[in-house]
Amino acid sequence: MTSAAIFGCAGLSLSGTERAFFRDVDPWGFILFARNIDTPEQVRALTGALRESVGRDAPILIDQEGGRVARLRPPHWRGWSPALDTATAAALTEDERCEALRLRYRLIGAELAGVGIDVNCAPLLDIPVPGAHDIIGDRALGRTVEDVIRRGGAVRDGLLDAGVLPVIKHIPGHGRAGADSHLALPRVETPLETLAETDFRPFAALADAPLAMTAHIVYEALDPDACATLSRSVIAYLRDVLGVTSLLMSDDLSMKALAGEFDARTSRALDAGCDLVLHCNGEMPEMTAIATALRPLTDAAQGRSLHALALRQPGAADETDSADRYAALAQRGGFHV
């Protein structure tokens, strides 16, 4: 039975140990990083091998925002400017910026689909505030709630145009964090009333996205003792107040924001209400420890999964026309593809 996990792998191809582990554990999906990427032919072979290891069309994820966060890079794939360059191009109207973002992510989605990747960890809906850590920075889609909502919707739609599932992140908002959660546990002391009117609103507006990724951040107004990923209170708030219906995955369990053994991290995230746990680095001892605490998808998670996976159907948009229109907007807007 499919287990509630997404795992990475170590290199450009699967080892025999990895194949056997994935066959036995049967994770819901997989995630790729730069260490797994060489040529299009190699990536297609790897995505095929990952799916073969579990005997089904398992989802395969990647972080392909463009700018700083891009696993597929030239010379085999386009080099993308930071999302904020497109989102704030002064020479374009707001309608044109949103059109450019939708086209950008339609083209990114087509590149992903071409090598067997069908989930992209975007759009990023975090709203950076002055004085926060720059981990978000130019990855953001804007500085105001309304801009991020509209532009985030354009990113979502562009990926879906290509049959690639979007993941809204980092729910309920990473923009106020004073630390990088890869390295430390951030704490946000902002009152709930303020958070509800700012940071949380983009996630409420896109609450029906196919997938969402939690933030390893403590929101003291909701739970002073546990970060969102591990907090029943926060995840209940996401479901019951923000109305989030997405299949909910944790951020990476190997990040230093979390403490404790990997089996305990896994149990706490699933107990809190995450539908899936994510582990990215491909380290077999860590994955083995996680596997000891894994469970099958709950009935609710299975329903959310089926809804999401049914959207892996590309539309009828012409890629050449999309590329030409995007190039014209990029030239006018002063950002590079």
Tell me how many degrees the CA angle 49-54-55 measures, rounded to the nearest 5: 85
CA nearest neighbour of 118 among 45, 224, 47:
47
Q: Residue for token digits 């060489």?
A: 38
251 catalytic residue (yes or no): yes
Tell me how many degrees the CA angle 141-69-100 measures, rounded to the nearest 5: 40
Q: Can you tell me the distance from the alpha carbon of 45 to that of 41, in angstroms, rounded to the nearest whole number? A: 6
In the chain, what are the helix, strand and coil shares in percent, each to the nearest 5?
A: 40, 15, 45
The tokens describing 283, both together, are 């380290």
147 catalytic residue (yes or no): no
Catalytic residue among 118, 126, 223, 251: 251
CB 127 within 8 A of CB 198: yes
Catalytic residue among 182, 208, 271, 321: 182
Catalytic residues: 182, 251
